[in-house]
């Protein structure tokens, strides 16, 4: 026995149990440490909670963070490898954001504060970015000029166009015009048949995608045309897609076409039915009905119409924050729900309208109800860091939508500038801000651009003579590329789930429901304690 230097009493007692019985002794307690999810979000006892008002208690770590699975449904039929969604705001998501979110396993929702044609064009760019078999390639004829071919390259963001006799798919293949063929040509009026490649490596109709990929890899060519027995062009595959498959294994893609999954928002006005047709023709996979208050006759009618006209299109309704709101949209046939009202960083709906709900309370209430009908939910708003993402998912959301957190990335359409403090920032505005509601791009030159504006439609203000702001305009810190920022968020989420002892989001949700996952309320002092308490410091989020 080692010598002692004092009294060995602990908590006033010197009689102890056998240390080997510690785990069994837990059975003497009536419940597990902390609160179950129902007690945590009991609004009658605690009022409405936000993400900052509670913590998740740690569990047992019996696996590395790399084994955590983040697969989660975004709709009844479509799942993502990474549960992150970018918001349909005009300073957050256009085609660049949608492409890079999908490549990282998430989803970008293209905003509708633009003309229907511009929105459809963005969807086409997303769908053409990555393919398996390209069944609708951009085809040109031998009479197409070099100038026209260069213009197509500028429009679509890629080169390498097959040349056929008629300039259409299904016609005899004559050659291919590549970037190298056009790069140094300045005779813009010259026909492409003077510079196109005619020595082609092709594959016959009926070849499988793995077989075609092997042929392409061995050929050292950029494109592999697929032809029928008469040498008519049927489809093609691209080497760049092989590279993307290698670099982005988690990419959100359709299993048949291998194209990136694309989502877009629309309103609930009659003209949005015309807009939706253009978007569906462009290849849209998921449509989000964009409204600050989704429980309306306009949205319910639109959901029913879409499900009848486009049964293959998944519909996400919202926004909602109560079971009663959700019930009407579920009954109308939605494939997913978007939760949140007034909790966004650029939103002032709760302040101005006195309507809304604290986000944690809203996410739990709606998600728990929607789960009864197999309807996945998006926690939209109030997300400022990785911890908030974890909490939104723990409360029952299947995915998390972010606006301000992603607005500062390189891929967002916002303008970058240097602030008065000398920091690099990007412009960011709420869709309920006066700036957004007065934007004329959606009107496409019409006399009444306010009636076509996404901001006024979202807040039912199309016909108002005085616009009441429900959002603000400002800026957010520049965060670098989505290519680094989203992997940082995913890694943080995996490590948090490891701390909780959860191997997957499915297990996280099940453990919350059956009481294994435990929570604790944070007092104001606890929130201060959990923050940084230093005179000065530098906060680097990732490296």
SS (H, E, C) 121-157: HHHHHHHHHCCCCECCCCCEECCCEHHHHHHHHHHHC
CA 208 to the chain's CA centroid: 31
User: Cis omega (within 30 of 0) on the bond before 206?
Assistant: no
Question: Exposed, middle or buried, 79 (CB in 10 Å: 0-12/13-18/19+)?
Answer: middle
The full DSSP string for 404-467 is HHHHTBTTSSSPEEE-TTS-EEEEEE-TTSHHHHT--TTTTT-S-GGGG-HHHHHTT-TT-SSP
Q: Round to whole Å and give the CA distance between 435 and 457.
A: 14
Q: Round to whole Å and give the CA distance between 310 and 277.
A: 9
CA max distance for the chain: 98
First and final C-alpha spacing in the chain? 48
241 pLDDT band, cuts 50/70/90, is confident
pLDDT digits 0-9 by tens, 278-289: 999 999 999 999
Could you tell me which residue, 300 or 181, shows the higher pLDDT? 300
Q: Round to whole Å and give the CA distance between 500 and 40.
A: 17
The answer to whether 84 and 489 have CB atoms below 8 angstroms apart is yes
**HEC secondary structure over 204-218:** ECCCCHHHHHHHHHH
What pLDDT does 488 receive? 95
pLDDT digits 0-9 by tens, 388-446: 999 999 999 999 999 989 988 999 997 788 888 888 888 777 777 676 666 666 655 45
What pLDDT does 176 receive? 86
**HEC secondary structure over 49-61:** CCHHHEEECCCCC
167 pLDDT band, cuts 50/70/90, is confident
What pLDDT does 59 receive? 94
Strands 233-238 and 263-266: unpaired
Q: How many helices (H) and strands (E) does the chain have?
A: 21, 21
Catalytic residue among 262, 347, 377, 500: 347
Sheet holding 424-429, edge to edge: 416-418, 424-429, 473-477
Q: Round to whole Å and give the CA distance between 384 and 347.
A: 14
CA 167 to the chain's CA centroid: 37
Query: Helix (H, G, I), strand (E, B), or coil: what is residue 168?
Result: coil
The answer to whether 376 and 398 have CB atoms below 8 angstroms apart is yes
CA nearest to 226, candidates 183, 176, 273: 176
The answer to whether 356 and 343 have CB atoms below 8 angstroms apart is yes
How many CB atoms are closer than 10 A to CB 197? Answer: 16
pLDDT digits 0-9 by tens, 323-341: 999 999 999 999 999 999 8
What pLDDT does 34 receive? 92
Question: Exposed, middle or buried, 281 (CB in 10 Å: 0-12/13-18/19+)?
Answer: exposed
What pLDDT does 309 receive? 96
CA nearest to 381, candidates 413, 349, 354: 349
Pick from 90-94, 455-459, 492-496: least confident: 455-459
The answer to whether 283 and 110 have CB atoms below 8 angstroms apart is no
Exposed e or buried b for every residue in 373-393, given b needs 16+ CB within 10 A? Answer: eebbbbbbbbbeebbbbbbbb
| Percent of the chain scoring above 70 in pLDDT | 89
The answer to whether 350 and 342 have CB atoms below 8 angstroms apart is yes
CA 280 to the chain's CA centroid: 19
Could you tell me which residue, 533 or 278, shows the higher pLDDT? 278
Question: CA neighbours within 13 Å on the CB side: how many for 373?
Answer: 20
* H-type alpha helices, 3-78: 22-25, 37-40, 43-46
Mean pLDDT of the chain: 86
Q: Round to whole Å and give the CA distance between 36 and 511.
A: 10
Catalytic: 347? yes
Query: Helix (H, G, I), strand (E, B), or coil: what is residue 346?
Result: coil
317 pLDDT band, cuts 50/70/90, is very high
pLDDT digits 0-9 by tens, 197-235: 888 888 888 888 778 888 888 887 878 888 888 888 888
Q: Which residues pair with 161 in a beta bridge?
A: 177
- DSSP structure class, residue 190: S
CA 93 to the chain's CA centroid: 9
353 pLDDT band, cuts 50/70/90, is confident
Q: Round to whole Å and give the CA distance between 230 and 234.
A: 11
What pLDDT does 24 receive? 93
Please give the radius of gyration of the chain, using alpha carbons only, rounded to the nearest integer: 27
Could you tell me which residue, 239 or 320, shows the higher pLDDT? 320
pLDDT digits 0-9 by tens, 473-506: 777 888 889 999 999 999 999 999 999 999 999 9
Average pLDDT score over residue span 135-153: 82
What pLDDT does 217 receive? 80
Q: Round to whole Å and give the CA distance between 106 and 86.
A: 8
The answer to whether 253 and 260 have CB atoms below 8 angstroms apart is yes
Catalytic residue among 338, 429, 458, 479: 458
- Confidence check: pLDDT of 23 > 60: yes
pLDDT digits 0-9 by tens, 101-133: 999 999 999 999 999 999 999 999 898 887 767
SS3 content of the chain, % helix, strand, coil (to 5): 35, 20, 45
What pLDDT does 9 receive? 66
319 pLDDT band, cuts 50/70/90, is very high
What pLDDT does 223 receive? 82
What pLDDT does 192 receive? 80
CA nearest to 262, candidates 127, 113, 134, 74: 127
Average pLDDT score over residue span 169-186: 80
């Amino acid at each position: 026995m080692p010598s002692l230097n004092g009294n060995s009493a602990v908590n006033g007692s010197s009689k102890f149990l056998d240390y080997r019985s510690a785990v069994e002794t837990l059975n003497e307690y009536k419940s597990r440490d902390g609160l179950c999810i129902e007690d945590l979000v009991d609004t009658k006892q605690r009022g409405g909670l936000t993400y900052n008002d509670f913590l998740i208690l740690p569990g047992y770590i019996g696996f590395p963070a790399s084994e955590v699975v983040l697969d989660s449904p975004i709709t009844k039929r479509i799942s993502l490898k990474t549960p992150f969604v970018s918001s349909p705001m005009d300073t957050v998501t256009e085609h660049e954001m949608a492409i890079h979110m999908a490549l990282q396993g998430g989803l970008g929702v293209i905003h509708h504060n633009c003309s229907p044609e511009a929105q459809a064009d963005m969807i086409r760019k997303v769908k053409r970015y990555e393919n398996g078999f390209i069944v609708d390639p951009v085809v040109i004829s031998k009479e197409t000029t070099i100038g026209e071919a260069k213009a197509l390259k500028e429009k679509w963001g890629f080169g390498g166009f097959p040349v056929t006799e008629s300039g259409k798919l299904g016609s005899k293949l004559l050659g291919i015009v590549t970037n190298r063929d056009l790069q140094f040509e300045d005779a813009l009026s010259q026909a492409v048949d003077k510079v196109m490649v005619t020595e082609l490596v092709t594959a016959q109709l009926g070849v499988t995608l793995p077989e075609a990929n092997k042929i392409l890899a061995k050929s050292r060519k950029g494109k592999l045309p697929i032809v029928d027995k008469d040498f008519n062009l049927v489809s093609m595959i691209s080497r760049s897609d092989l590279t993307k498959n290698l670099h982005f294994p988690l990419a959100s893609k359709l299993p048949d076409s291998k194209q990136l999954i694309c989502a877009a928002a629309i309103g609930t006005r009659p003209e949005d039915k015309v807009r939706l047709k253009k978007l569906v023709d462009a290849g849209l996979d998921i449509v989000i009905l964009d409204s600050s208050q989704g429980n309306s006759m306009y949205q319910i009618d639109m959901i029913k119409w879409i499900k009848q006209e486009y049964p293959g299109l998944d519909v996400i309704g919202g926004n909602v924050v109560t079971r009663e709101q959700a019930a009407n949209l579920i009954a109308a046939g939605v494939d997913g729900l978007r939760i949140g009202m007034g909790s966004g960083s650029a939103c002032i709906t709760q302040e101005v309208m006195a309507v809304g709900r604290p986000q944690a309370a809203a996410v739990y209430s709606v998600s728990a109800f929607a789960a009864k009908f197999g309807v996945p939910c998006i926690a939209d708003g109030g997300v400022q860091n990785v911890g908030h993402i974890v909490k939104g998912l723990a409360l029952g959301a299947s995915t998390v939508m972010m606006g301000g957190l992603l607005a500062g990335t390189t891929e967002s359409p916002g303008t970058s500038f240097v602030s008065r403090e000398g920091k690099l920032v990007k412009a960011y505005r709420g869709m309920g801000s006066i700036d957004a509601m007065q934007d004329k791009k959606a009107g496409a030159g019409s006399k009444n651009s306010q009636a076509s504006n996404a901001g006024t439609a979202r807040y039912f203000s199309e016909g108002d003579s005085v616009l009441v702001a429900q959002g603000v305009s400002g800026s957010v810190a520049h965060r670098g590329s989505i290519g680094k920022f989203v992997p940082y968020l995913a890694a943080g989420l995996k490590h948090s789930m490891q701390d909780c002892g959860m191997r997957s989001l499915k297990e996280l949700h099940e453990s919350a429901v059956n009481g294994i996952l435990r929570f604790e309320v944070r007092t104001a002092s606890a929130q201060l304690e959990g923050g940084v308490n230093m005179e000065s410091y530098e906060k680097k989020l990732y490296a």
